[in-house]
Amino acid sequence: MAAVTAATLTLGALPAAAQGSLNMYCSAQVEWCQAAANAFQKETNIRVSVSQKGSGEVLAQIRAEAQNPRGDIWFGGTGDPHLQAAEDKLSAEYRSPMLDQLHDWARKQAEQSGYRTVGIYAGAMGFGYNPELLAKRNIAAPACWKDLLDPRFKGEIQMANPQSSGTAYVMIATIVQLMGEDQAFQYLKDLHRNVNAYPRSGTGPIKAVARGETGLSISFVHDAVTERLGGFPVQYVVPCEGTGYEIGSMSIIAGARNERNAKRFYDWALTPAAQQIGAEAKSFQTPSNRATPVPAEAPQMDQIRLIDYDFAKYGRSDERRRLIERWDREVNNLP
């Protein structure tokens, strides 16, 4: 089982004239969360505390705290649970003056949610694999979703648990959109025979690939780039049938105690300068501000065969809950 990435950090000493505080729930990679918090704190003197958790876990926490919100801003993580939070009024409406600078897909995320969330990055789903490990075991690399059902991958595959991980939910919603729901669940049951673990965090499986603990993961392909640049033997492939993608998002938590600071962070996080911190922290998603340079290392989204992912449908509260419950009942409980 891969280690869970969860951390609570309070950043270091501040100058005397601190300008209040900001509690950030962060579902991006912890290195990016920390770097963004540091840079914002340095610029504004607002003290930032960061709690990093998976997208599904933050949604559950915000719901549990709804009567007494402890978080102010939710930064990063897949878009579907942010849309679910918007529908359930767990996030606050805010029309940032920065919206005009964003790509259409990021603005559409805001419009679709009644301006309760916004796109901050995009990334495509695919497979990460360890070519050294696969070669040692004489396993040919996969090219398509259907290859993952081949017995050659028995016990070699990891994907995250969709109850905690937004990444895993994007995978399920992708398969449902590619195959239709009943066929998709048959696929997920067949895939289960080849899966050795469903870790909590979306980045758990690719880190297990990097460490040589498993041959293959179902991951966002930019996460494979991060591991490869970290010196690990990791390659990625985008499935031949087409694939889904995420619109990584950001939301202000409804009833936030530090709402003014949250709005300030929100506007700042949509600037090119702030968005470049992602690549500096080795996160290679495609940024949402049109003027933010796309990192040279980022997978080229326009070269990837993307499905027309239905964010409105798969970000709907009842649909997301239903699909995750069905997965838990029909797949996770299988021996």
Binding site for ligand PLP (CB under 6 A): 27-29, 54-55, 76-78, 123, 160, 165-167, 201-203, 220, 223, 246, 248, 283, 285
CB-wise, 27 or 41, nearer to ligand PLP? 27
In angstroms, what is the minimal distance from the CB of 138 to ligand PLP?
31
Helix (H, G, I), strand (E, B) or coil at 135: helix
- Bridge partners of residue 237, in order along the sequence: 127
CB-wise, 148 or 224, nearer to ligand PLP? 224
**What is the number of the residue whose Cβ is closest to ligand PLP?**
202
CA angle 176–181–185, rounded 5-degree value: 90
In angstroms, what is the minimal distance from the CB of 35 to ligand PLP?
13
In angstroms, what is the minimal distance from the CB of 202 to ligand PLP?
2
CA nearest to 171, candidates 1, 331, 334: 331
In angstroms, what is the minimal distance from the CB of 132 to ligand PLP?
23
In angstroms, what is the minimal distance from the CB of 60 to ligand PLP?
11
Which pairs with CB-CB distance under 8 Å and at least 24 residues apart come from 56-65? 56/81, 56/162, 56/163, 56/164, 56/165, 56/166, 56/169, 56/324, 57/6, 57/164, 57/200, 58/25, 58/27, 59/84, 59/85, 59/90, 61/25, 62/25, 62/90, 62/91, 62/253, 63/88, 63/90
In angstroms, what is the minimal distance from the CB of 166 to ligand PLP?
4
In angstroms, what is the minimal distance from the CB of 107 to ligand PLP?
18
Paired sense of beta strands 73-75 and 118-129, if any: unpaired
CB-wise, 96 or 161, nearer to ligand PLP? 161
CA nearest to 69, candidates 208, 215, 253: 253
CA distance 139 to 104: 41
CB-wise, 55 or 130, nearer to ligand PLP? 55
Instruction: Give Cβ neighbours of residue 210 (< 8 Å, ≥ 6 apart).
Output: 130, 227, 230, 232, 233, 234
CB-wise, 226 or 258, nearer to ligand PLP? 226
CB-wise, 177 or 203, nearer to ligand PLP? 203
Phi, psi (deg, nearest 5) at residue 151:
-60, -20
Q: How many residues does the chain have?
A: 335
CB-wise, 94 or 284, nearer to ligand PLP? 284
CB-wise, 46 or 221, nearer to ligand PLP? 221
In angstroms, what is the minimal distance from the CB of 152 to ligand PLP?
26
Torsion angle of alpha carbons 161, 28, 250, 318, nearest 10°?
A: 0
Phi, psi (deg, nearest 5) at residue 244:
-90, 175
